[in-house]
Amino acid sequence: MSILSTLILIFHSTFASESATHGYQLRINEFGQICRFSKTHVQCWGGEPSDAKIDILGYTDVTDVAMNSKTTYVIDDGFLWRYGYVPEDEPKLIKPTDIESGNDHFCAIDEGFVKCWGDGFSSAAEVPEDLGVVDRISLGSDLSCAQKGSTVRCWGEYVGNFGTPSKFENVLDMVAGGYRVCILFQSGEIECWSHGDTFNRGPDRSQKDLKEMSIGFNNICARQDDGVHCKGEWRNKIDLSRQNEFLNFQIGGDTFCGQTKDRLICSGWKVEEVKGIGFEPRTLNDIKLSGFSNVGGCVVDGLGMYCFGVFPNEMSKLKDSKDIQSIAVGKEHSCAIVGQVVECWGREYRGEKYLLEKLKNPKKLYAPTADGYNFCALDDEGVSCWGDRHAIGLLLKPRSVNFEMSIDGNTYCYIDAGVLECLGDVTNPIYKYPFDLNSPSHLSLSAQMGCVVDLGKLRCWGKSDDARSDFPSDLGEIFDVFVGPSNICATTKSGIRCWGDLDTEINNIQTGFLIPDKLFVGAQYACAINNGELFCWGRSKPNRPRDL
């Protein structure tokens, strides 16, 4: 099988594909899968398999996306994110800048050098030892090419044996796709070498005005001054009636997509899901992070739940759910209320099946903030918990609708009818909670420390021998507080203020940053939602979501 044409070829002109609709670029593979991406958003769908959808919000600086039928890679701010199946021999990349995919292999430029990997034997994944530093790469089915200056080197099954040269000189640009590679020479001429298809050369028209090219399975399209011209064989007819509106275009297999200023228009094969899709932004309304290092978290909007870190492969059945009421994220176990049902994924906890079947109209979920394995749900009967053997079943019945709760280990604190109370492990320093509060709210517990907002003032108790207890003296009026395992963040009149462990870099947030609608502090980073947009700060680990 051949694979995709992932690379648009721009030939030294004033045409600017980067300025396409909302900054979106396109990638399409021969299975009909389509990815479009901007600096902050990656969206993939369509084709086969049908569950290969991702819709990830909150990146910082996406520079490239590559996918095959099993795996999707995203390069964001120098990190490589993988979604789906783990290919064999996947290398550790230090600072990837470019990634492309073939049929069964991927190649990336990492600190200037080409690294390739994949499943099974593919000679296209065997990088020549003398290749050295390169400027860019482009892949076909079992074909890999790299360009350095005016020289192009190609390798793989279809190089040499079928007439494709392994080296080209005096090159201006190049693109590979399917079973072929096309070279634009400095003379202005373009030539294509191919195997197993119906044509051997590129567009028949004059090449002097060639601005953009994309190669599919048995086809090729190029933009010239008088429009977009295509040749080759297509399984289904493609629609070029709006070609003058296309800001950029891409072929993959027998699928053609072009972007106008406000729409993505696709035709050809496997396009039922992508006809006329627009670029409406998504508005986030909730976020939960794990209090455990290197785990991740989830965000929710009106169209579904999108998770980062270790979660995307385990909760895919919920990512398109449009009725998510509450989420709770732990270390090995996470849950969401979808409609009137609690769905959990990850490790199955003690008492989970028994308890979830008995819940009546669940309204809210609670997860451990740092230590412990106790999850709880608020329903019409009260608060019921599962996980730890000492806390399975009904825990308490709230007296009022103004009920808040937070869990730390085996200690449960809650605000009910304006009164703070705690249950559980009496040896936890949090258990010694203050009794002189006037009107506590915004309860938050983590790692043996608890805080509330009381009439605009911050009141904390519990563990006093770590950096979190070093409270700033100039906080002023407090609107919200969230206690993390190593840091505390509070929303004040001047914005978000954070303190605690310096190593997490959570404290590195500017005063006056924003006054968020939602605030959450994890083990190594913190996030906030403001006007539907996600902002995160702290350690730039791969499991941290990117700012949206």
pLDDT tens digits for range 204-228: 444 556 677 888 777 788 887 778 8
Does residue 251 register a pLDDT over 60? yes
247 inside domain = yes
CB-CB neighbours of 390 under 10 Å = 10
Does residue 198 carry a pLDDT above 50? no
User: Is pLDDT at 1 greater than 50 in this prediction?
Assistant: no
Within a domain: residue 136? yes
- Provide φ and ψ at 260, rounded to 5°: -95, -170
Identity of residue 434: P
* pLDDT at residue 282 greater than cutoff 70: no
**What percent of the chain has a predicted confidence (pLDDT) above 90?**
34
pLDDT of residue 13: 27
Residue scoring higher pLDDT (18 or 485): 485
Min mean pLDDT across 31-35, 358-362, 385-389, 544-548 is at: 544-548
According to DSSP, the residues that pair with 242 across neighbouring strands are none
Could you read off the pLDDT of 139-164 as tens digits, one per residue?
988 889 999 999 999 998 878 765 66
- Residue 425 is assigned to a structural domain of this protein: no
Flag whether pLDDT at 181 surpasses 90: no
Residue at 269 is within a domain: yes
| Residue 468 pLDDT > 90 | yes
Residue 312: CA count within 13 A, CB half-sphere:
20
Q: Is residue 473 part of a domain?
A: no
> What digits encode the pLDDT tens for the residues 380-439?
999 999 987 666 889 899 999 999 999 998 899 999 999 999 999 999 999 999 999 999
91-95, 135-139, 275-279: which range is least confident on average?
275-279
Q: Please tell me the predicted confidence (pLDDT) of residue 362.
A: 96
Residue 170 burial (10 A CB sphere; 0-12, 13-18, 19+): exposed
pLDDT-derived band at 263 (thresholds 50, 70, 90) equals confident
Per-residue pLDDT of 470-523, as tens digits, reads: 999 999 999 999 999 999 999 998 889 999 999 988 998 854 456 888 899 988
pLDDT tens digits, one per residue of 21-36: 457 888 888 777 888 8
For residue 12, what pLDDT is reported?
A: 28
Would the pLDDT of 8 be above 90? Answer: no
> Under a CB-based contact definition with an 8 Å cutoff, are residues 407 and 376 in contact?
yes
pLDDT at 163: 63
30 inside domain: yes
Q: Are 158 and 197 in contact (CB under 8 A)?
A: no
**Cβ distance 304 to 327 under 8 Å?**
no
Distance of CA 429 to the CA centre of its chain: 38
Better pLDDT: 8 or 124: 124
pLDDT of amino acid 214? 85
Give a yes or no: residue 420 inside a domain: no
Asked if residue 490 belongs to a domain, the reply is: no
CATH code, domain with 231: 2.130.10.30
**What does the pLDDT read at residue 435?**
95
178 and 141 Cβ atoms separated by less than 8 Å: yes
What pLDDT does 99 receive? 96
pLDDT of residue 195 exceeding 80: no
pLDDT of residue 31: 74
| Number of structural domains the chain divides into | 1
CA dihedral over 392, 395, 488, 542, signed as positive or negative: positive
Q: What is the pLDDT of residue 144?
A: 93
- Name the 3-class secondary structure at 355: helix
| Res 200 pLDDT > 50 | no
Q: What is the DSSP letter of 235?
A: S
Between these two residues, 148 and 7, which has the higher pLDDT value?
148
Question: pTM for the full model?
Answer: 0.57
Task: With H, G, I as helix, E, B as strand and everything else as coil, classify residue 431.
Answer: helix
The range of the structural domain enclosing residue 55 comes to 9-13+22-278
Q: Is residue 16's pLDDT more than 50?
A: no
Q: Are residues 155 and 164 in contact, defined by beta-carbon separation less than 8 angstroms?
A: no
| Longest CA span, the chain | 85
- pLDDT tens, position by position, 312-344: 445 555 666 778 899 998 888 889 999 889 998
Helix (H) or strand (E) holding 33: none
